[in-house]
Structure 1
Amino acid sequence: MKEIMKKNILLLSMLFVAWAFNSCEKDSDGSPVVEPGTPVFESISPTAAAGGELVVVTGSGLGDMVAIIFETDSVPAYLMPTLNTDKAILFRVPTDAFGGEQDIIFINSIEKTMRVPFNVLAFPQVSSVSTYTFKEGTQITLEGNNLNDVSSVVLTETGEAATIISQERKIMVIEMPATTAVRTTLDITNVTGEITTTQEFISITNSFIVYDDAYGPGAFNGGIQNWGWSCVVSETNKEFKTGTKSLKVEYSEGGGLSLFLGSDTWEDGHWFTDYYTAEYLVFYAKGDGKSAEITIRPDSPPWSDFATGEKTVSIPADEWTFFKIPLSDFVGGSGNFGRINFQITGSGTVYYDDLLFVE
């Protein structure tokens, strides 16, 4: 008899647990059981936010929401049912929401809706650019986000406007204007506001040109000349970063491209560094079929008091890579020089383009 009673008690206990579990089973994810009603809006905080930020909406009849839609281009937000009640809804602004004033549309399980005004903050973002060097008329492709509603692109340093050629959400093409700026970032404005790019752009025209589709005019009494050793130097229109040509250097073992900068080293005060005060050496380069280790050194005739120092860079194979090297990284000694050398470790072929000294 006692055994029967034990079994009955155990059965009743199991039935009670099953009933309790079933009563909570409607929302197995832990969200509260809230019947849908007629949603009425009371408040939203904040009233403006960027993608990823948390938003809280309060009101009544907010239970059993099945969709939250940002109106511009119908971008859905992720529902967090465990945090929602008939009095409050919590959600994050979608990272791909479009910027500007728009309604957020809430839809519940009986298809009743509520609209709440909101301002999505979607500032322009630029993550990569097609080139860092430019002339008047150069077209530059900017990649990033929130570029579809950009209305203005201007040069930070001087305020000249670039022309917007085409634009989509994640890509925009601009044409650079004539400018007196040597180096400049870009101020980009869309419906949310203005940002300044982290990328800096360099005017070829306003820099000291060593090579850009041709050797530059040089300093003082001479143009740019190749004084290299153990290498064959030529111009080619088969490979180039900008313009129509690049400098092709076919290095033998330990060879060096040595570019005379037009200095008149037989007269005092006629070094390249007397002619032009540079802060950076910039250039594009790529290895032909293999990477290359290049050591850059200032140079001059040996009887002069010339600069010392060096900088070694790795040039990847088959991919134009931009180098912007402070002269303080490799120019020591007196600081005076009239040539710049690019010596290879081993051998190989390297292409150079937009080779400039920049203030």
Structure 2
Amino acid sequence: MKFNRFNRIVGLCLLTGLAGFGITACEKDTDGTPQIAPGNPVATAMAPDSAAGGSVVTLTGTGLGDIRTIVFEKQSVPAGFQPTLNTDNALIFRVPTEALGGTQKVTFTNSAGRAVSVSFKVLAFSTVSDVSNYDFTKGSEITLTGNNLDDVTAVAFADSVKGISDAATIVSKSQKQLVVKMPASTLGRGTLSITNGTGRIRTKQEFVNLDMAYKIFADAYGTGFQDASWGDAAAVSTKEFKTGTASIGKTFQKGNWHMAGFANWSGSAIPYSTDYTYVTGWIKGASADYSLYLTTDASKAGFGGFDDRNKINVKAGVWNYFKIKLSDIDFWLPGKTLTQVGFRIQGPDKQDETFYFDDILLVK
């Protein structure tokens, strides 16, 4: 009797377990999204009503619990969001970083294909990450690479401290690239002021006006300057240049400590002036990375020295820009006249190496 009763108890327990398993197996797996039937989405507010890429925005209204896609109108850029945060009255999402700037419709669509659109302004200030050149003359073109450049309406070469702003001409524009023709200007150096649909920014990059700079070399030797290189003479090259039509090429022989030299022995050498702030220029590298040392006869160490403060690292095979504050290096002692400027190398040890120099300038 006890045995039969025990069997019945075990059997009932087994049936109960199987029944529970069957009920569990029939439940629908979900991703955590609220199980809200698709309704007719209605939007009452978007907060904030304008924001930059990456910002969090909340849409409020009714019938929003089943929203499945969010798309920004310009170029149909989708926005990511977490459906598990949806409620029937609120939806939280982020403005996509790829969203184009300006006012546009943002469309919210549910699983039944029902949608609601809301007007929203994407704040997308222009950014400039790279430039084709830091030097310019009146009418020369500079290419700016960055983002949100397609709706640029105005560009100017400007100095907010001096209150000078000279309008540049927009040649072409796309989202990632802007080409401008530079203006005539009395400014020696300045940034670019760029205005688009979101607002105005100033570039971090500073540009040098060749028309106002003191030229040691720029397409040709500056007034009174000539080659004063050690070892093999330097030569003007019309095949290699960064700006204009020419540069100076200098071959440094293996095993010799050569120098690319520029000298003004004509009586028009430069007397010391605190007005000059920077020495700038471009150097095209050789077959490997090297360091060149900037040296002058107006320095404390004298012409031909190797001062670490004056070291310029030059990457192989590309044009390298340098802009050095004169107060940071041994370049020009008060009271001395600047007659010679040079670029010296320690080596090269393996083979002859050729460098090219362009737009060697003193800038106020």
2:195 paired with 1:197 = no
Q: CA deviation at 1:59?
A: 1.1
Give the residue type in structure 2 aligned to 1:183.
R
Q: In the alignment, what sits opposite 1:267?
A: none
Question: What's the counterpart of residue 277 of structure 1?
Answer: 275
Q: Cα offset for 1:97?
A: 1.0
Relative to 1, partners in 2 of residues 1:341 and 1:61: Cα closer, same or farther, differing over 3 Å?
same
Contact 1:232/1:251 (<8 A) preserved: no
**1:353–1:12 CA distance, 2 compared to 1 (3 A):** farther
- Contact 2:285 2:320 (C-alpha < 8 Å) held by counterparts: no
SS of 1:12's equivalent in the other structure is helix
Change (3 A) 1:174 1:18: farther
Change (3 A) 1:237 1:19: farther
- The letter for the 2-side match of 1:357 is L
The superposition leaves residues 56-111 of structure 1 with CA deviations (integer Å, 9 ceiling, x where unpaired) of: 11111112212211122222112321111211111111111111111211111111
Name the CA distance, whole Å, in 2 between partners of 1:52 and 1:330. 42
Query: Which structure 2 residues correspond to residues 21-40 of structure 1 after superposition, within 5 A?
Result: 22-25=26-29, 27=30, 29-40=31-42
Partner secondary structure for residue 20 of structure 2: helix
| Secondary structure of 2:75 counterpart | coil
Return 224-233 or 39-48, whichever deviates more: 224-233
Q: Is 2:318 aligned against 1:319?
A: yes
Contact 2:299–2:330, Cα closer than 8 Å, also in 1: no
Deviations 1:286-340 (A, max 9, x none): 12323322111221599x99x9955111211110111111112222683433221
Secondary structure of the structure 2 residue equivalent to 1:274 = coil
Render the CA deviation track for 1:105-162: whole Å, top value 9, x for unaligned: 1111111111112111011111111000100111111111111100000112221111
Q: Is the Cα contact below 8 Å between 2:189 and 2:206 reproduced in 1?
A: yes
State which of 230, 253, 257 in structure 2 corresponds to 1:254: 257
Deviation at 1:11, TM superposition (A): 5.3
Distance in 1 (alpha carbons) for counterparts of 2:92 and 2:362: 55
- Give unpaired runs (5+ residues) of structure 2: none
1:209 aligned partner = 215
* Contact 1:132–1:200 (8 Å) recurs in 2: yes
Equivalent residues in 2 for 1:87-102 (5 A)? 87-102=89-104
Q: Give deviations 1:19-55, integer Å, cap 9, x for gaps.
A: 3465351x2x222211110111122111110111111
Q: Map 1:82-161 to 2 at 5 A.
A: 82-157=84-159, 158-161=164-167
Q: SS of 1:150's equivalent?
A: coil
Amino acid in the other structure paired with 1:198: K
Which sections of structure 1, spanning at least 5 residues, go unmatched? 218-222, 265-269
Provide the identity percentage: 38
Q: For 2:289, which of 277, 288, 291 is the aligned residue?
A: 291
Say which of 161, 166, 171 aligns to 2:177: 171
Q: How far apart, CA to CA, are the structure 2 residues paired with 1:333 and 1:69?
A: 60
1:275 Cα deviation from its structure 2 partner: 6.0
In 1, Cα distance between the equivalents of 2:87 and 2:124? 29
SS in 1 for 2:166: coil
Q: Distance in 2 between matches of 1:340 and 1:7?
A: 102
Whether the aligned pair in 1 keeps the contact of 2:298 and 2:332 (CA below 8 Å) is no
Distance 1:286 1:17, change over 3 A: farther
Match of 2:168 among 157, 162, 177: 162
Alignment-derived partner of residue 185 in structure 1: 191
Q: Which whole-Å CA distance do the structure 1 matches of 2:66 and 2:48 have between them?
A: 23
Q: Is the 8 A contact 1:298 1:308 kept in 2?
A: no
Counterpart secondary structure, 2:231: strand
Structure 1 stretch displaced more, 40-49 or 332-341: 332-341
Please report the RMSD computed on the Cα atoms of aligned residues, expressed in angstroms: 2.5
Q: Contact 2:147–2:175 at 8 Å: present in 1 too?
A: yes
Q: For residues 64 and 300 of structure 1, what CA distance do their matches in structure 2 show?
A: 76
Instruction: Please tell me the residue identity of whatever aligns with 2:354.
Output: T
Q: Which runs of 4+ in 1 moved over 4 A?
A: 307-310
For residue 74 of structure 2, give the secondary structure of its aligned residue in structure 1: coil
Determine helix, strand or coil for the equivalent of 1:161.
Answer: strand
Q: Give the aligned length.
A: 345
Contact 1:68 1:78 in 2 (8 A): yes
Structure 1 residues 21 and 295, CA gap change in structure 2 (3 angstroms):
farther
Q: C-alpha separation between the residues in 1 aligned to 2:35 and 2:292?
A: 68
Moved more, 49-58 or 255-264: 255-264
* Structure 2 counterparts to residues 58-69 of structure 1, below 5 A: 58-69=60-71
CA distance in 2, matches of 1:204, 1:138: 11
Distance 1:21 1:329 in 2: 75
Preserved contact between residue 296 and residue 332 of structure 2 (Cα < 8 Å): no
Distance 1:139 1:239 in 2: 18
